[in-house]
Each structure stands twice: as structure tokens, then as C-alpha cells.
A and B are shown apart, each in its own frame.
With several copies, the nearest count.
Chain A
């Protein structure tokens, strides 16, 4: 883990209010693994005070990619950043996902949850078969489809308004795909906490199926020193999203 000034480039709006940008930071890029994230200090002043956690959505040798929706102060400032400007980033943070081989793996994304799954898919692609279930509010918010096409054997889409794919929630299409799940080794889920909770609590009647969720929680430090990012363990006590996760075996946490 390291904290470095990274240079912004290749910023583009890839959906309504959704931006992708690359951050040049070789030390972080080279050690980053799927499942990990960075903390970004959006400015030099102290308002906003905290750094912002954003998933690593892809890497090259020298750069990492982040994809974010503009929702508040921090992401507003990120949106205003121009190519060539710098940002202080801390990373890579969180646990890396352990790679597997020769498996059928299902990815399930809701909204911006698609971002961390991109990096994971690129990593798993070579040695596994991937199937993606992906839902968003409407067609224009279904981002990164072109990039996922070559990575997945099948892609199932849904939109809340039916403008593309099945009308409804991604959980609807996921839960109706019993055969696919029956053949799958595991399921990676990223998206709104309500969605992850719903899937986590769903009775799949598939005892072999491992569920992994990308959890988000309000963070202080992002690096294990403030105990701010608690997620309840099954049983007693808490785990830390930033160091025990952000990707969790859902059988271990109580959502």
C-alpha cells in the first residue's frame, strides 16, 4: 500500500452522470488485484475532509481506472478534474479476490456495481467461463457493455423501465436462471446494498453455490486504522469492510 500523486487522464462521461477516468500511478497499478479499491483525496483543502473510496475497475501496467457516479461533493470535484491534473490516492486497499480456474462463474451487477466486476471479469476470463447478469435504471445507464461482450459467454440484462433487456430488477432475471446457477461454482455480486441483501437471503436451494458480495460502507480511513466501516458477522461482532473486504463470502456476514 502506498500514497501517491496520480495524474488523471482519459476522463469521459460513459453514462448519464457516470464518469470513467484513468489514474497514472505505477506503484499502485502494478500491485492492484480484483476486489481492491483506492482512497482518493479529492482536494488539498479539508472540505470535504475524508478521502473517497472507489473500486479499481481496471488496470494497465502504469494506471488504474475508476468509474464513478456523481452523487455529492467528492464526486462533483472528481468530475471537474481535467486530464493532466493530479489526485492523491492511497492504495491498493482491501483484500484481493483469490483467483480460481476452470469454473463457471456468475457475475451479478446492479448499477455502478458493474465497475469492480469489470476488473474481476478481465482477470477470471482466461481460465473460467463467465456469465453476467446486469441491471440498471435504463438503457443509458447500462455502461461497459462493449467491454463485457468479449469477456462473457452470456449476458442477461434488465432495466427498471424496460428500455433494454427484461423490465424489472436484475434479481428477477437472476432468480429465474436456476439452471445457470446450478452449474455455477460461485456468484460475485456488486451493487446496491439492498440488492446484495436480497440475493444473500434468497433460498437458492443450491448448497454448493458460493456467494461473494462487494460490500460498501461509510469509511473513515479505508485502511484499517479507524474501525469505522463495520459489517456484522454472522454470529457476533463486526468485520471491517476496508481490510476484511470489501468482497465478503456472504455466508460469513449478516446483512
Chain B
């Protein structure tokens, strides 16, 4: 295998475990250690309780989740969780979420002198109250957020984009202009499920994010479409469950891939996909 790098950060293989689907990297460490990298659950400035139950709803070849960024906040993350992650033998990428450039700046600042390997700017979480306020749907806001983080840190920055109701090429360009080192495409799609018995939304968070094999053809399209139009390392994400899927994403132009929902079905999915990928490559 040729070396995979984003700037000076090397990945031992193209597989990264996606945010929100592998805790903070503190569980199944033997799996995490063999991956190219692991992205933590989204961290916010203040602690967040997350949404009420139910948070998971199964759909055709996919899942809706409305976890809602449950996390202890950046301070507790740094003091309680990060020390546990010291022994991780893989790239540790911290996924950060906020409502404004200021919040993102503060998050980056707090994490700057920790030993993490990269930041993933999450401006694409669909589990926010007003879907129209998603930063990743606004190229100007996207620019501002990435710029604020870029000014604050020398760490690798990955900007995680949405393809909900916005052309991701436009926000990719904004993130590029603001100095991101890579982009991740895509976060979950908007989704909802209604309970036909009660007439009400099924999920505690009302709407949710759609992920899993169901979204793969669309997510792959986004990667293929953006990759052919912009020079920026892309981390493909969406519906990967097999080594074949990984190969498709690499063909589409992504440098790395993130594996999300597959971990929910099977926490060893990353390992199994890696083994199969190595086998296919002979």
C-alpha cells in the first residue's frame, strides 16, 4: 500500500471510524488501533444531554438517529476521556460541533495543546432544532467557521460537509478557501419517521439523520462529483459496509473513508472490512 497522508499526518490504511458510531475511541480499542483513524463522537463547548428516546429507528437498509450530540462538553472530554486515549495506536480525530465561529474557535483553542491528531469540524449534524440553521448549508458561515478554527490551530482540519439541500461543492470551496486540509462527505441525510398509530413523529428528537447502505449511491455521487471539481483530499462517508464499498469510494476520488453505521450492526466491522480489503488487494 502506498502511504496515505493528509498534510503530514499519515494513515496506515484508508479506514477511519466515523463520528458518533464508535464512542470516543474508548471502547473496542483493539479494533480502533488497527484502523487508519478514529473520529470521536461530536464534542461541544458545553455538555449536552442529547435527545429523549427513542433515538434510533430502523429504515429500509438504513437507520435514522436523533442522538443529538450527547457529550460531556470539551472540558470533561479533555480531563476525563482524553487521558484514557493516550495509548491509542491510531490517529485520533476529534469531531467538534458548535453554533457559531466563536464556539468553534473556543473548541479548537481548548484542544490545541492536547495530543489529538486532527479536528473534524462538524457543521452538518441534522439533529439541530431549526434545520435551516445548519451552518454547513451556508457557504459564508462555513467559511467563517473554518477560518476561525484555522486561525486557532495548526492541527489538521477536516471539514465535514452536508449534502442536505445544498450543493456540497460550494461549501467545499468555502472550506477550502478558509484553509481546511480535507473535507469529509457526507454527514447523514435529513429524515423522519411517523408513527401511524399515534400520528406523531417516532423519534424523540422529531427528525433524525439517515445513514447506512440506503444512502450509499447518493453519498458516493457527492464524493465523485466534488472530487472531479476541486483539489482537496476527500474522506468519503456513507453506507460503507464492505471492502467493495471502500473500493468504490476510492475510485470515486476519496483518499480515506469513514465507516459509520456498519459499526452499530457489528463493532468489529472495521476490522472485517480491513481484512477483506487486504485480501482483495492480494
Asked if A186 is at the interface (CB within 8 A of a chain B CB), the reply is: no
Residue interface mask A170-210, B partner, CB < 8 A = 1: 00000000000000000000000000000000000000000
CA distance A11 to B93 in the complex (A): 46
Within 8 A of A (CB), among B145-198: none
Residue interface mask B52-65, A partner, CB < 8 A = 1: 11111110111101
| From B41, B52, B241, contact of A227 by CB (8 A) | B41
Asked if B114 is at the interface (CB within 8 A of a chain A CB), the reply is: no
Within 8 A of B (CB), among A70-90: 88, 90
Residue interface mask A2-22, B partner, CB < 8 A = 1: 010000000000000000000
| From B22, B53, B63, contact of A230 by CB (8 A) | B53
Known contacts A218-B53, A227-B41, A227-B50: does B267 contact A49 (CB below 8 Å)? no
| From A88, A217, A223, A228, contact of B65 by CB (8 A) | A228
Q: Which residues of B contact A230 (CB under 8 A)?
A: 50-53, 55, 67, 70, 204
Asked if A231 is at the interface (CB within 8 A of a chain B CB), the reply is: yes
| From A41, A224, A236, A237, contact of B23 by CB (8 A) | A224
> Interface centre among A217, A219, A226, by most B CB within 10 Å?
A226
Q: When the two chains form their complex, are residues A47 and B60 in contact, meaning their CB atoms are under 8 A apart?
A: yes
Q: When the two chains form their complex, are residues B63 and A220 in contact, meaning their CB atoms are under 8 A apart?
A: yes
Q: When the two chains form their complex, are residues A225 and B267 in contact, meaning their CB atoms are under 8 A apart?
A: yes
| From A49, A225, A232, contact of B21 by CB (8 A) | A225
Q: Which residues of A contact B20 (CB under 8 A)?
A: 226-227
Q: Which residues of A contact B221 (CB under 8 A)?
A: none
CA distance A41 to B264 in the complex (A): 11
Asked if B27 is at the interface (CB within 8 A of a chain A CB), the reply is: yes
Asked if A221 is at the interface (CB within 8 A of a chain B CB), the reply is: yes
Q: When the two chains form their complex, are residues B265 and A41 in contact, meaning their CB atoms are under 8 A apart?
A: yes
Q: When the two chains form their complex, are residues B67 and A228 in contact, meaning their CB atoms are under 8 A apart?
A: yes
Q: Which residues of A contact B23 (CB under 8 A)?
A: 224-227
Known contacts A225-B27, A225-B28: does B70 contact A49 (CB below 8 Å)? no
Residue of A nearest to B203 (CB): A218
CA distance A236 to B266 in the complex (A): 30
CA distance A187 to B63 in the complex (A): 36
Q: When the two chains form their complex, are residues B266 and A49 in contact, meaning their CB atoms are under 8 A apart?
A: no
Residue of B nearest to A226 (CB): B264
Asked if A156 is at the interface (CB within 8 A of a chain B CB), the reply is: no
| From B49, B58, B266, contact of A48 by CB (8 A) | B58
> In whole Å, how far is B206's beta carbon from the nearest beta carbon of chain A?
15
Asked if B126 is at the interface (CB within 8 A of a chain A CB), the reply is: no
Q: Which residues of A contact B67 (CB under 8 A)?
A: 226-228, 230
Q: When the two chains form their complex, are residues A221 and B263 in contact, meaning their CB atoms are under 8 A apart?
A: yes
Q: When the two chains form their complex, are residues A219 and B49 in contact, meaning their CB atoms are under 8 A apart?
A: no
Asked if A54 is at the interface (CB within 8 A of a chain B CB), the reply is: no
Q: When the two chains form their complex, are residues B53 and A49 in contact, meaning their CB atoms are under 8 A apart?
A: no
Asked if B98 is at the interface (CB within 8 A of a chain A CB), the reply is: no
Residue of A nearest to B22 (CB): A225
Q: When the two chains form their complex, are residues B63 and A49 in contact, meaning their CB atoms are under 8 A apart?
A: yes
| From B50, B52, B266, contact of A3 by CB (8 A) | B266
CA distance A228 to B54 in the complex (A): 8
Residue interface mask B136-147, A partner, CB < 8 A = 1: 000000000000
Known contacts A49-B63, A230-B70, A238-B49: does B264 contact A225 (CB below 8 Å)? yes
A-B contacts, 17 of them at CB < 8 A, read: A3-B268, A46-B60, A47-B60, A48-B58, A49-B61, A49-B63, A223-B27, A225-B263, A228-B55, A228-B65, A229-B55, A230-B50, A230-B55, A230-B204, A232-B52, A237-B49, A238-B50
Q: Which 8 A-B pairs have the closest CB atoms?
A: A228-B56, A220-B264, A218-B54, A225-B23, A221-B264, A218-B56, A220-B56, A228-B55
Taking A218-B55, A227-B20, A238-B49 as given, write out 7 further A-B residue pairs in contact, using a Cβ cutoff of 8 Å, ordered by the A residue number.
Answer: A46-B212, A49-B63, A49-B265, A218-B57, A225-B263, A225-B267, A238-B70
